[in-house]
């Protein structure tokens, strides 16, 4: 589990294709590797990866075909800069929100507006994820825990302070940048819980409609 508080920036040193998978090597001068062991997890641009080799300033991980299919890794290349966070320990401060490192989909930066002391970023999410994104709710973008400041359809807006711009890959964003999105895990569990006993039906869709809410007593008729 992670918190969405980025600990360091890294750089993709190599991407070696192994059939449909990729062996990834990430280097970082800032990330403390002294307490990292083989088999540990490191969130790399929000994707939970298992360490398969390690050095003083690098680690290797295998990226599966499924991960390539559902995350921005399919568009990365040698030299790409990535956000890094080691898995949290029970004694760590919980500064962000619950982040699993399981990316739900890829969004696209559609607009960036500069203000005097922050920037405003608009991101377009995949249609199937829009229902999980709420005003003042939490979302993870490339591994960064952020608060949604506005929602319009499947587009949502974030306010980014200078510190976040400097310490994460968000400072490299421009219109058209593809980003990894992980929605708040609480929203996903809530959707499933609201199905009640119907969740046991294999044919039950998890789409929650106004009619469903009314039928199950969540809305007054």
Q: Determine the distance from the C-alpha atom of residue 139 to the mean position of all C-alpha atoms in its chain, rounded to a whole number.
A: 7
Residues 131, 175, single domain; the answer is yes
Residues 40, 27, single domain; the answer is yes
- Residue 165 lies inside a defined structural domain of this protein: yes
154-173 residue pLDDT tens: 999 999 999 999 999 999 99
CATH code (residue 133): 2.40.30.20
Residues 16, 55, single domain; the answer is yes
pLDDT-derived band at 102 (thresholds 50, 70, 90) equals very high
**How many domains does the structure of the chain reveal?**
3
pLDDT-derived band at 39 (thresholds 50, 70, 90) equals very high
Pairing status of strand 8-18 against strand 81-86: antiparallel
- Residue 67 lies inside a defined structural domain of this protein: yes
Q: What is the rounded CA–CA span in Å between residue 210 and residue 218? A: 9
Question: What range does the domain containing 199 cover?
Answer: 185-221
pTM, to two decimals = 0.87
- Residue 156 lies inside a defined structural domain of this protein: yes
Pairing status of strand 105-114 against strand 119-124: antiparallel
Residues 190, 176, single domain; the answer is no
- Residue 3 lies inside a defined structural domain of this protein: no
pLDDT-derived band at 67 (thresholds 50, 70, 90) equals very high
Average pLDDT of the segment spanning 167-185: 96
């Amino acid at each position: 589990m992670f918190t969405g508080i980025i600990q360091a920036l890294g750089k993709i040193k190599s991407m070696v294709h192994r059939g449909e998978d990729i062996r990834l090597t990430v280097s970082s001068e800032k990330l403390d590797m002294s307490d990292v062991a083989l088999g540990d997890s490191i969130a790399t641009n929000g994707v939970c990866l298992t360490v398969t080799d390690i050095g003083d300033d690098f680690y290797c991980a295998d990226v599966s075909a499924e991960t390539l299919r559902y995350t921005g890794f399919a568009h990365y290349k040698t030299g790409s800069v990535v956000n890094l966070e080691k898995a949290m320990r029970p004694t760590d401060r919980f500064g962000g929100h619950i982040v699993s490192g399981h990316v739900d989909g890829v969004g696209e930066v559609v607009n960036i507006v500069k203000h005097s002391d922050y920037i405003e970023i608009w991101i377009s999410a995949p249609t199937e994820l829009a229902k999980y994104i709420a005003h003042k709710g939490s979302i993870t973008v490339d591994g960064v825990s952020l608060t949604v400041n506005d929602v319009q359809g499947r587009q949502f807006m974030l306010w980014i302070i200078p510190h976040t711009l400097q310490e994460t890959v968000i400072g490299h964003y421009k219109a058209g940048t593809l980003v990894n999105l992980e929605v708040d895990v609480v929203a996903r569990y809530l959707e499933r819980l609201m199905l009640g006993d119907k969740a046991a039906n294999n044919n039950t869709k998890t789409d929650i409609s106004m009619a469903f809410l009314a039928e199950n007593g969540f809305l007054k008729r």
